[in-house]
Amino acid sequence: MRLDSFLVEKYPEHSRSVWRRYIEAGYVKVNGRVVARTELAKDSDKIEIDIPESTKQPLDLPVLYEDENVVVIDKPAGVLTHSKGALNDEFTVADFIRTKSVGTDSREAREDGERGSDESCDDRHEERSREFRSEDFTGNRFGIVHRLDRATSGVIIGAKTDEARKFLQKQFAERKAKKTYLAIVENPPLKPAARIDLPIARDPKRPSRFRVDPKGKPAITDYRVLQILRDGRALVELKPLTGRTHQLRVHMAHIGAPIVGDPIYGAAGTVPAKSGATGLQERFLQRKREERMLLHAACLEITIPGGERKTFRAELPKDFR
């Protein structure tokens, strides 16, 4: 069996892609040697795992609500919901949820993973792994049931147990969780309130971006203009009825009202690093480049484990005012 597959079977707390990165980084040895992930491994081999201690700096994120099943956070702009790579040293919402987890087994496994171990694969570790492991409740996405972009602030709920994760995720999948966002857009939409029902798909020419596409997945957003601001921008309320990646950003940009500070779909994303402009023009362009995306998850209505329907709200950050 290939080494990466062998490690997934022995230590299912990490995905195959994570183990690949650890192997490629030289954190895994077979019979005393650093080898390629395609190396064949067997039970009689001595496999040593030595993952360096994490250098993540913990953050004390604002908690709006917490019980034995869930924790609701007012995520500041700039904080990642979860990391995508195994070797990321940035503290995320998932890391914070993990510290709140009621399962001691989960914490012990995290600490083992961060500190590393010079032990061979042993039965004790494997048995403990099976006790609490469940897909999507380990590794970089611990307790995450929905996500906010890095630049988006506001309400995000996390699960402290695997049962709670499944309970919450089902509501998002069935559209029973109600989300309300506030955003400042560059231009007021033509209609003061409307429903945007336009499918969204990945842009084949730029895979990290999405676009309105007749062949895409259904995407529905309700919006309402709350206030026209002095500088000509507008404060809008956004209610996504579906949960597509970048949905609000794509929809608002498509109707000519991109979210202020959006580095991909907004005016900020069209500003070149060196525009050649001078004076007042250059100062204006520089301001565009430096603005953070003004999108805030203001409210989340959801049923928590136990059956109680709750509404969680996060106040507008200072940069909205």
> Annotated catalytic sites, by residue?
149
C-alpha dist (Å) from residue 178 to 156, 222, 302, 303, 309: 12, 12, 7, 10, 11
| Total number of residues shown for the chain | 321
Half-sphere exposure of 88 (CA within 13 A, CB side): 16
Find the helix or strand (DSSP H, E) in which 125 lies: helix 123-132
What is the Rg, in whole angstroms, of the alpha carbon atoms belonging to the chain? 23
Ordered DSSP codes for 166-232: HHHHHHHHTT-SEEEEEEEESS--SSSEEEEE--EEEETTEEEEEEE-TTSB--EEEEEEEEE-TTS
CB distance 244 to 210 below 8 Å = yes
Which DSSP category does 160 fall into?
A: S
Q: Which amino acid is at 314?
A: A
Count of Cβ atoms closer than 10 Å to residue 213 Cβ: 16
